[in-house]
Each structure stands twice: as C-alpha cells, then as structure tokens.
Amino acid sequence: MASAETLARAGRVRLMIFDVDGVLTDGTLYYSASGEELKAFNIRDGQGMKMLAGTGVRLAIVSGRRSAALARRAADLGVDLLYQGIEDKLAAFDELTARLALAPEACGFLGDDLIDLPVLARCGFAAAVADAAPEIRARAHYVTAAPGGRGAARETCELVMRAQGTLAGALARYLA
C-alpha cells in the first residue's frame, strides 16, 4: 500500500518515464543466431501504459541501449518520446522537461539500476521495480511488488491513475 506522500507525488505526475532493460523487460538479453538483439515485453505492462496515456499523462521511454525491438514496442504503444542509446539519462530528463515545459516534480520515473539514480533523485515521483538494485530501492518513493518485465510498469501506471482519481474511468471501458 502506498503512503499518503507517495500518492501525493504520483498525483502530480504529468509525464511518466520508463527505463527498459530490467523495467519493461526482465533484464535478460537474447541474441539471435545472426546477432540481432531480441527483447520480451509484458503485454499487461503495455496495457497499463496505454491506459495511463489515455488519462492524459504523457509517456516517455529512456534506454541506455539501442534496439529495433524497442523502437517497435514504443510505436505499438504510441510512445513518441523515445530516447535510445542514452548514457546520461539525467541530460535526457532535462531535455524532456524543457521540451514539455514541465517542472521535475511533475515527472515520474520507473527504474532499476544505478544508471537511473540521477533521474530518480531529481524527479517528483521515483519508482523502482521489486528486483531493482538496493541503491535504487532505497531512493524510490515507491517500490513495486512485481519485478521488472513482470507487471511492474502496469502496477506503477495503476498507482498513478489511482492517485489522480482516473483509474476507475480507465477500467470502466473494460468492465461494462
């Protein structure tokens, strides 16, 4: 259960940013015989992201790696704010906030490893997957019950919607 402070932070989110490996995937890298990198994404995570976007919260994906599979997944989800091959995620975060004219407090970030720490320290709502590095879990305002690639993004999206009072409306479409 999220604390009142966590819900207040999630309630201010206007942009939710997701890391990829270890967050939208379980962190395992697969390579085909030809050397192509393959990724496995959780369909429920994607549904949660679509539902959150449907409430007016912008979505962004920031990854330290480059992958054609990720570009395809972002397109499938309608995520147009895709940053790949990013070594300095804080610089990408600063670019996003400037581009969208948002204060850092209006942004959330879901991460799992040390490269995510600078953004988690700056954003208003810092979330970590259950199997994140200890340093990440210690910095997060919210730690998911689900591990990366196994529902953590969906859980985070639903928390944001719950905090903003939009979850019931997002679910009503499916529960009619």
The CATH code of the domain that includes 36 is 3.40.50.1000
Residue 124 lies in a domain: yes
Residue 88 lies in a domain: yes
Q: Going residue by residue through the chain (176 aa), what tens digit of pLDDT does each one get?
A: 789 999 999 999 999 999 999 999 999 989 999 988 889 999 999 999 999 999 999 999 999 999 999 999 999 999 999 999 999 999 999 999 999 999 999 999 999 999 999 999 999 999 999 999 999 999 999 999 999 999 999 999 999 999 999 999 999 988 87
pLDDT of residue 117: 97
Q: Which two tokens stand for residue 45?
A: 């995570």
Residue 153 lies in a domain: yes
pLDDT of residue 52: 98
Closest CA to 132 of 119, 157, 149: 149
Number of independent structural domains in the chain: 1
Residue 56 lies in a domain: yes
Residue 157 lies in a domain: yes
**Structural domain containing residue 33:** 4-168
Residue 174 lies in a domain: no
pLDDT of residue 129: 98
pLDDT of residue 135: 97
Residue 175 lies in a domain: no
Residue 84 lies in a domain: yes
